[in-house]
A and B are shown apart, each in its own frame.
Chain A
């Protein structure tokens, strides 16, 4: 039972354009959402988070949008840079600080 889903295994975007990564969840109890970026042979690096009481959070080039009625969140990266090429994981949490991760989306930025 995959409670957090990232349905796009991969995404390619031209440098300078917007990258949009999507994530869907099924458990309405989730109240905190995070995005992590992962390079090969490294641990996930925290990017940005959002509480369920908000619908948008912005940090520099990164913006996360949360649509609770659709149980959907997205990460926007503008403008995309070559260093953004990595695997991006969406994660969700409720109550007990356990993170439930999606399967990841591999983002490739084309110079």
Chain B
């Protein structure tokens, strides 16, 4: 069975550009969450989506946005990139409900120059 997939695996952008990251959840999983992991830190929650609706948002600026599609895949968009946006962006999927384990994809490593 395929796990969570993310694309692209690596990305280099310059300041001020925008980026779109993509995620496909595990088959049957309807909830998708996005996390940012900077070097030396644990992942930080950005968004959670279920049934195409935002169900949770972390402490990130409005430059960050996301959406979920009818097939439960998701995109994370970041506008006006800053050097500090350089990080590993992780997508996780889970069944819907409390105390359902989140399974992570391999991540997209974004470098902003």
Contact = CB atoms under 8 A, between A and B. Distances in A.
A101 interface: yes
B42 A43 contact: no
B101 A46 contact: yes
Contacts, number: 69
Contacts of B42: 4, 89, 91, 101-104
Interface of B: 4, 6, 31, 33, 35, 40-45, 48, 55-56, 58, 90, 92, 94, 98-107, 109
Contacts of A44: 43, 90, 104
Given A96-B55, A97-B31, A103-B40, A43 B94 contact: no
A59 interface: no
Nearest to A104: B42
A6 B100 CA distance: 23
Interface of A: 4, 31-32, 34, 36, 41-46, 49, 51, 89, 91, 93, 95-104
Contacts of B102: 34, 46, 97, 99
Nearest to B9: A41
Nearest to B107: A43
Contacts of A36: 104
A95 B98 contact: yes
B31, B56, B101, B106: most-surrounded residue (chain A CB, <10 A): B101
A34 B100 CA distance: 10
A34, A89, A97: most-surrounded residue (chain B CB, <10 A): A97
